[in-house]
Amino acid sequence: MNILSIETSCDETALSIIQRNQSSNAPNIKVLSNLVISQIDTHAEYGGVFPALAKREHARNLCPLLVQTLKEAGLYSETDTVASVPSALLKEVLHREPELLDKITALFTKIEKPEIHAIYVTQGPGLSPALWVGVNFARALALVWNIPILPVNHMEGHITSILFKEDYANKEQALYNIDEYHFPMIALLISGGHTQLVLVKAWGEYEIVGETIDDAVGEAFDKVARMLGMSYPGGPKLSQAALKGVPHERVKLPRPMLSSGDLRFSFSGLKTAVRYLIDDLKEHHEFDDTMIANIALSFQEAVTDVLVHKTKQAMIEYGAKGLIIGGGVSANTHITSALRNLLQQEFHGTPFYLPQKNLCGDNSLMIASAGFIHHEKYGSSAFVDPDTLQAQANLRL
């Protein structure tokens, strides 16, 4: 069984095709193709992701990306005859995406129905216009080619992305065996839009036990990076700059909510503290590249301290038998080393799970793994009616 996965919740247009692996007793998947088009350059000049632009770029990218994905998976073939296309239906499904409508109509006329047996698509959370393009694209494919759809929660994708083995693209069994995990686990999700501590009771069963009351970690990284003169997305650049920083009396920063006693986070005060610090340094002519590196280090350590502290608390409170880290900020090795140390020093033998490096940020294989879990668990009752499927910008785990 071949499955197409679609992710468009933010600024990456991502498609992949996996093959559900029937050869073994334990169900598994093989990756046939996996492509991502990043819109970073488009959004950089706005200093953040601009939803209308994200929607336009997804609409522009999806059809050419589908063709490429099908080709790489060996599932692409053109028709000899011009296929008839249900134009009225497509017009209705894609009335808010005229550019996509034109492209997809041309595509349906040109290619044979591919050997795709299910579609997994990100339903939310994310930017509403961006999500809708992906959802409507999935609906159009599902309706015209008569393929079932399974909607996926993007945050669950960040959790299940840890299931991929190293070198997953070249493995017959791309995932670790899902039955070999011990629950409950705690998942720390750190991305541009979310900061959450999630109790993972089983695959597919989650409860948010702590989250940010204001900015997400990635958002704070990006905003502080911008104050330090780095272009969007500044998170990775800030962590790069921090490598050259040294601890300095002048750049001490607070650890917000560290002793709040609960599992809530807050990063907006930290961001404001950096703003005041920069103003003060500028006034005293002390704001230079050296100081920028020192601030980057100090900020990253403040964030790390809070994340480590709250994660530890959640692990103890819920008797966690494993720690999962997910989301774009899980690419930050300073943060992940600190969490790994926490486990080694205080939770001896408790496993630590990180996504493979290129699966930390948004991609569609994470959607494939979350869809796979639901498909395994609920079978065809996990599918929904494409006629009524809606994007949900505020979808919760």
Q: Minimum CB separation from ligand KG4 for residue 222, in Å?
A: 5
Least distance from ligand KG4 to the Cβ atom of residue 117, Å? 28
Provide CB contacts within 8 A for 97, sequence distance 6+. Answer: 55, 59, 132, 133, 136, 137
Among 124, 134, 322, 327, binds ligand KG4 (CB under 6 A): 327
236 or 269, CB closer to ligand KG4? 236
Query: For the chain, what percentages of helix, strand and coil (3-state, to nearest 5) are there?
Result: 45, 20, 35
Choose the contact partner of 134 out of ligand KG4, Zn ion, none; CB within 5 to 8 A by kind.
Answer: none
Instruction: Return all residues near 347 (Cβ < 8 A) that are at least 6 apart.
Output: 315, 320, 323
Q: Which stretch binds ligand KG4 (CB under 6 A): 58-66, 71-79, 260-268, 326-334?
A: 326-334
129, 134, 328, 386: which one contacts ligand KG4 (CB under 6 A)?
Answer: 328
- Residues of this chain that bind Zn ion (CB under 5 A): 191, 362
**What DSSP assignment string belongs to 110-136?**
HBPPPS--EEEEEEESS-HHHHHHHHH
Question: Which C-beta is closer to Zn ion: that of 191 or that of 311?
Answer: 191
The alpha helices in 111-258, defined as continuous H runs, are 128-145, 154-160, 217-227, 235-242
| Minimum separation from the CB atom of position 91 to ligand KG4 (A) | 31
DSSP 314-361: HHHHTT-S-EEEESGGGG-HHHHHHHHHHHHHHSTT--EE---GGGSS
Least Å from the CB of residue 185 to ligand KG4: 19
| DSSP symbol at 213 | S
Residues between 165 and 194 with contacts to ligand KG4, criterion CB under 6 A = 191-193
Which residues, 192 to 251, sit near ligand KG4 by CB under 6 A? 192-193, 218, 221-222, 233, 235-236, 239
* Residue 386 touches which of ligand KG4, Zn ion, none (Cβ within 5-8 Å per kind): none
CA dist., res. 176 & res. 13, Å (int) = 26
> Judged by CB under 6 A, how many residues of this single chain contact ligand KG4?
18
Closest approach, Cβ 268 to ligand KG4, in A, equals 15
Regarding 47 and contact with ligand KG4 (CB under 6 A), the answer is no
Q: Which of these, 120, 33, 31, 37, lies nearest to 73 by C-alpha position?
A: 33
Nearest to 176 by CA among 378, 381, 372: 372
- What six digits make up the tokens of 6? 């679609």
Q: Which does 222 bind (CB under 5 to 8 A by kind): ligand KG4, Zn ion, none?
A: ligand KG4
3-state secondary structure of 176: coil
- Residue 332 contact partner, candidates Zn ion, ligand KG4, none, CB within 5 to 8 A by sort of partner: ligand KG4
The full DSSP string for 277-310 is HHHHHHHTT--SHHHHHHHHHHHHHHHHHHHHHH
- Give the nearest distance from C-beta 42 to Zn ion in angstroms: 18
What CA–CA distance (Å, rounded) separates 56 from 129?
9
Q: Which does 361 bind (CB under 5 to 8 A by kind): Zn ion, ligand KG4, none?
A: ligand KG4
Write out the residues near ligand KG4 by the rule CB under 6 A.
10, 191-193, 218, 221-222, 233, 235-236, 239, 327-329, 331-332, 361-362
